[in-house]
Copies of this chain bind each other. A is one copy, B any other.
Amino acid sequence: MSNYPDRVITSQSQDFNAWYLDVIANAELADYGPVRGTMVIRPYGYAIWEAIQEFLNVKFKETGHSNMYFPQFIPYSFIEKEASHVEGFSPELALVTIGGGKELEEKLVVRPTSETIVNHMFTQWIHSYRDLPLMVNQWANVTRWEMRTKPFIRTLEFLWQEGHTAHATPEEAENEAIQMINIYTKFAYEQAAIPVIAGRKSRVETFAGASKTYTIEAMMGDRKALQAGTSHNLGQNFSRAFGTQFTDENGQRLHVWQTSWAISTRFVGGIIMTHGDDAGLMLPPRLAPIQVIIIPIWKKDAEKMEVLNAASSVKEVLQTAGVQVKLDDSDLRTPGWKFNFWEMKGVPLRIEIGPRDVSSRSVVISRRDIPGKQGKVFGISMEPSILLAYVKDKLDEIQSSLLGQATSFRDSNIVDVSSYDELKLAISQGKWARGPWSASDEDELKVKEETGATIRCFPFQQPQGIKTCLMTGNPAEEVAIFAKSY
């Protein structure tokens, strides 16, 4: 904390990108690694990732997946086996060519994703229908040689989980892909307070090697879209390329149907850019490493002891009840400095305790999500059960209030369009455009070229009624959402 640089944070309206980088530096979420495009995830940022892991890991296990670990070095020849996969990933590969001082006979790919090596192993483990479904997940690092990088959002190396499953039927694989995007959606809404829009990617935007890609798309504070998680129905693309077959009940050899799905440290960037404001970070209580910061206030030395004692008991009460609480009893900074610092770090609730509070056996509690005096409540009793109930209640309120604010923001920035002109207008205003779409891949690429926007998804939640493609005037089955994106 002593090296908190007391830097001003650029305002969002002035330069959203500068604001983002300022928050990351000031809140000590991440730092730049020595190799271009790499990122060091610092303890406070990593703690957010740990909270994400903790929640998802339980959900994955509840739905029958086991964790395991695949090696990160993949023979180059593997990547070449699935045609669209190699096309999608070959420009982004990091290659190991020297090992133990010697030039290698075959170059090794540092995994950009693991479908190929997973299939290589699955062929050895899957023999009959009794081995299916095979449902695994790994928490791992992956490497993609990105040219334009940004902490959390797009880095040369990042952390993620990648689930990989194999099934006996296409229906099961489809159900699995949908189940996992639903888990991500629920996680985004309920834990991260991010009202993502879940849907299907267009053919153009589908993962290299997948039959269908499902996605959750989040609107950031600058109204750009962030793809925050994906779930792929891989069909038989990889199983055909690798010969991943099983014998069914009738003794027939068939290729398995597969899925893969991932959420990465990019999600941390999504949290920052969804909830943050000009004062800094604002963390949803359910993922906040520190949910409550206690700041003791004293002027005279005589007051210090009793204030610190009271602060410690309050901490004890909350901690015992499972609240993530920290007491900032440092002598080095003033209370005012601490208020700003922990506000900037996005801690949902602040408890102040001064000599007068000690006398009245009460505390002052401020909400991070309501600025200034409106968010400040005096005279909350220190009586453990009352205080604890109040704190838990407020944390819940903040959690829903953040989701509510983000939802209003999102909804007020999505425009329903029925023509290409309307689409262009919406995009030029920085908004998302939603409109019926049944045009060609070429038309989709034309939109991208002319407006900078891409189809983020065909949302699962579709409006009723007859639809006419905004581009061609032909009948359309679905609306698509167009937006500029990260």
Q: Which residues of A contact B (CB under 8 A)?
A: 2-3, 31, 33-35, 38-43, 45-47, 49-50, 66-75, 78, 90-101, 107-108, 110, 117, 120-121, 124-125, 127-128, 130-131, 136, 140-141, 143, 145, 147, 156-157, 159, 332
Please state if A73 and B121 are interface contacts (CB–CB under 8 Å): no
Please state if A43 and B72 are interface contacts (CB–CB under 8 Å): no
A95 contact set on B, CB distance < 8 A: 96-99
How far apart are A433's CB and chain B's nearest CB, in angstroms? 33
Please state if B40 and A69 are interface contacts (CB–CB under 8 Å): yes
In the assembled complex, 12 residue pairs joining A and B whose CB atoms fall closer than 8 Å, in A order, are A2-B131, A31-B124, A35-B108, A43-B66, A43-B67, A43-B68, A49-B69, A71-B157, A72-B157, A94-B100, A94-B108, A140-B141
How far apart are A183's CB and chain B's nearest CB, in angstroms? 19
Additional A-B contact list (12), CB under 8 Å, known A2-B130, A35-B108, A72-B157:
A2-B127, A2-B128, A31-B124, A38-B73, A43-B67, A47-B66, A49-B69, A73-B156, A93-B100, A95-B98, A96-B96, A96-B110
Give bound CA distance, A124 to B35, whole Å: 15
Instruction: Tell me whether A66 and B94 are in contact in the complex, defined as CB-CB below 8 angstroms, given that A72-B157, A108-B35 are known contacts.
Output: no
Give bound CA distance, A91 to B45, whole Å: 35
Give bound CA distance, A145 to B93, whole Å: 21
Quick one: which of B3, B90, B145 contacts A99, CB cutoff 8 A? B145
A73 contact set on B, CB distance < 8 A: 33, 35, 38, 94, 143, 156-157
Give bound CA distance, A35 to B45, whole Å: 34
A91 contact set on B, CB distance < 8 A: 100-101
How far apart are A34's CB and chain B's nearest CB, in angstroms? 6
Please state if B40 and A121 are interface contacts (CB–CB under 8 Å): yes
Quick one: which of B47, B67, B99 contacts A47, CB cutoff 8 A? B67
This chain's copy number in the assembly:
2
A125 contact set on B, CB distance < 8 A: 3, 31
The interface residues of chain A, by DSSP majority, are classed as mixed
A127 contact set on B, CB distance < 8 A: 2-3
Give bound CA distance, A157 to B67, whole Å: 18
How far apart are A152's CB and chain B's nearest CB, in angstroms? 12
Please state if B92 and A130 are interface contacts (CB–CB under 8 Å): no
Give bound CA distance, A176 to B3, whole Å: 23
Please state if A100 and B107 are interface contacts (CB–CB under 8 Å): no
How far apart are A116's CB and chain B's nearest CB, in angstroms? 9
Instruction: Tell me whether A92 and B100 are in contact in the complex, defined as CB-CB below 8 angstroms, given that A66-B43, A67-B47, A159-B69 are known contacts.
Output: yes
Residue with the highest number of chain B CB atoms closer than 10 Å, among A47, A72, A92: A72
How far apart are A484's CB and chain B's nearest CB, in angstroms? 24
How far apart are A394's CB and chain B's nearest CB, in angstroms? 26
A43 contact set on B, CB distance < 8 A: 66-68, 136
Give bound CA distance, A78 to B73, whole Å: 23
Please state if B131 and A71 are interface contacts (CB–CB under 8 Å): no
A145 contact set on B, CB distance < 8 A: 99-101
Please state if B110 and A40 are interface contacts (CB–CB under 8 Å): no
